[in-house]
Amino acid sequence: MHTKTITALAQGLRDREFSSVELTQHFLARIHQYSELNAYITITEEAALSAAAHADTLLATGNAPTLAGIPIGQKDIFCTLGVKTSCGSKMLDNFIAPYNATVVEKLNQTGAVMLGKLNMDEFAMGSSNENSYYGAAKNPWDIARVSGGSSGGSAVAVAAGLAAAATGTDTGGSIRQPAAFCGITGLKPTYGRVSRFGMIAYASSLDQGGPMTHNAEDAAILLQAMAGFDDKDSTSVNHPIPDYQATLNDSLKGLKIGLPKEFFGEGLSANIATDLHNATQEFQRLGAELIEISMPTLTLAIPAYYVIASAECSSNLSRFDGVRFGYRCENPVDLADLYTRSRGEAFGKEVKRRILMGTYALSAGYYDAYYLKAQKIRRLISEDFKKALAQVDIIMSPVTPTNAFGIGEKTADPVQMYLEDLYTIAINLAGLPAMSIPAGLSAEQEGAPMLPVGLQLIGNYFAEAQLLNVAHQYQQVTDWHQRKPADFQ
C-alpha cells in the first residue's frame, strides 16, 4: 500500500479494499521499521489512529474529500495544536504549539491523517538536513548520503513509503532540492499562494509551503487543499484557485520551453547534464519547442540571496530569547546572560552563522553596501525572469549541480554547501512557482550508486496548473517517478 499514489489509495478507501485505520497502521509500522532513516522527529501514533477512525466514518457516507483517510506527514516547521513543533532546533525542543498553522488546519479539514512531524534543517537553514538538532534524515537510495534540505525528512518519508505525501517549505530550494535527491515530485508555489500563518519564519519574503508527493497528480491534489487566501497572513495573495487536476491531461503541442544557457554550463555534473538532455528530448517528442535563452543576472542570485535571507533571519529569530518560550539557560545571572547563553546554547552553528551575517548586513554603514544592493539585484533577477517568460511558456533547468552527496562531505565548507542551491535560489528571489520532477537515475562515476536526478520546471506567477500539466504529461511517458529505492520497497 505504501507505494500507491494518493489517487490509488483514495480509490482503495472508497472501494473498501482497506480502511483508513488499516492504512494508517501500515504506515506507522513502516515508520518504526525504518527508524534508521530518521525521517520523523515526532510520531503522533495515537492521534493518527483516532483521525483515521474519524476518516472511516466520513468515508462511510460516500461523500468524503479525496484526501480523507490518507496518511501524510507534516514538516516540523508547521505549528500543530498540542504537538511539539521544534523546527529542527534545540531552541524549540520543548515547544508545544498552542494552535494549528493554516496549512495544517486546511489538511485536517479534508480528513487527511497526520502521522507525525518530519525532520528538517534547523529553522529551515540548510541544503542537506545535517543541521537538524535531531541528526540528519538519511537518503533511502543510499543511507550514507544526505536527503537534501531543509525538507529532507519530508522527501525521505515519501521516497521510502513512510507517508503517502508530505508538506514542505521552500526558501531557496528546500522543497525542490530534497525532492531531486530522493527521486520524488516537489512543488514550490508562487509566493503568497499558500498561507504562511503558523509556519515558523526563516526569511519572510522568501518562505513558501508546498506539497511533496510521488507524482504530479498527487501534487495537484495536495496543493488544491493547501492553497488559498488567508486573512491571517499579510503576505497571502487573494488570487483565484483553479482546479489543478482539470488541465493535467492537456496536450503539450506548441509549448515553448526555455533553456537558460547559464544553467547548463560549467558546474553541472556530466551525468546530470546527460539525463536532463534526454528529458528535454522527451518533451520535444511530446510536441514542445526547445528555445535557448539567456538570463545573465542568475549568476548573482547566491550572494543576493544569502544577504537577504540572512538579514531576514536575524530579525525573525530575535524572538527566540529564552524569555517567552523555547529553551532557557540554567541559572542566568542577569538578563544579558539569559539572552546570551540561551541563544548560544540552543542555536546550532549554521543558524548562528546566518544570524551574524544578517546582523552585519543590516548594521549601520553596511546596509547600503550589502542589503540594499542585494535587493536591487533581486529586482534585476525578477526582470530577467519576466523577459524570459514573455518569450517562452516555461523554463527548464537542473535542480542541483550534483547527485546527493555523502553525509559529512561538505559540512566543513559552508560556501560549497551554499552552491548546492545554485539553480533554485533565483526562483525564490523572484517569487515564481517551480517544481522538481524525477528525470533519471545515474552515477557520477563508475562504481558509485545510481541516484535520482531532478528536472526543474519554472513557470510564471500563479501558473502552478501549467507546471503540473507539463510534469504530468512527462510522467505519462516515463517511469522515473515510479522507481523506488531497493532497500525500502
Residues belonging to the active site: 75, 150, 174
The C-alpha cell at 371 is: 542589503
CB 453 within 8 A of CB 441: yes
Nearest C-alpha neighbor of 414 from the set 467, 366, 350: 350
Cα 461 to Cα 188, 208, 350, 399, 466: the distances in Å are: 12, 14, 32, 19, 11
Q: Which three cell numbers stand for residue 269?
A: 555534473
Cell numbers at residue 420, please? 548546492
Q: Which three cell numbers stand for residue 437?
A: 520532477
In contact, 93 and 76? CB cutoff 8 Å: no
Q: 3-state DSSP helix/strand/coil percent for the chain, to nearest 5? A: 45, 15, 40
CA distances from 252 to 216, 390, 472 (A): 15, 18, 10
Grid-cell match 525542490, residue found: 176
Residue 418 Cα distances to 83, 128, 301, angstroms: 32, 10, 11
Prior bond of 150 cis (ω within 30°):
yes
Residue 65 corresponds to which amino acid? Answer: P
All residues at 6 or more sequence positions from 459 whose CB lies less than 8 Å from its CB, including other chains = 389, 393, 394, 395, 432, 433, 434, 466, 467
Q: Which pairing describes strands 394-398 and 434-442: parallel, antiparallel, or unpaired?
A: unpaired
How many whole angstroms separate alpha carbon 464 and alpha carbon 241?
10
Strand ranges for 164-255 from DSSP E: 165-170, 185-188, 208-213
Which residues lie closer than 8 Å to 318 by C-beta, 6 or more apart?
Answer: none
**Residues in Cβ contact with 120 at an 8 Å cutoff, skipping those fewer than 6 apart:** 41, 75, 76, 77, 87, 88, 129, 132, 149, 150, 151, 152, 153, 154
Is the distance from CB of 40 to CB of 162 less than 8 angstroms? yes
Which amino acid type is present at position 462? F
Is 265 in a helix, a strand, or coil? coil
Locus of grid cell 508555489: 189
Assign 120 to helix, strand or coil.
Answer: coil
- Amino acid at residue number 74: Q
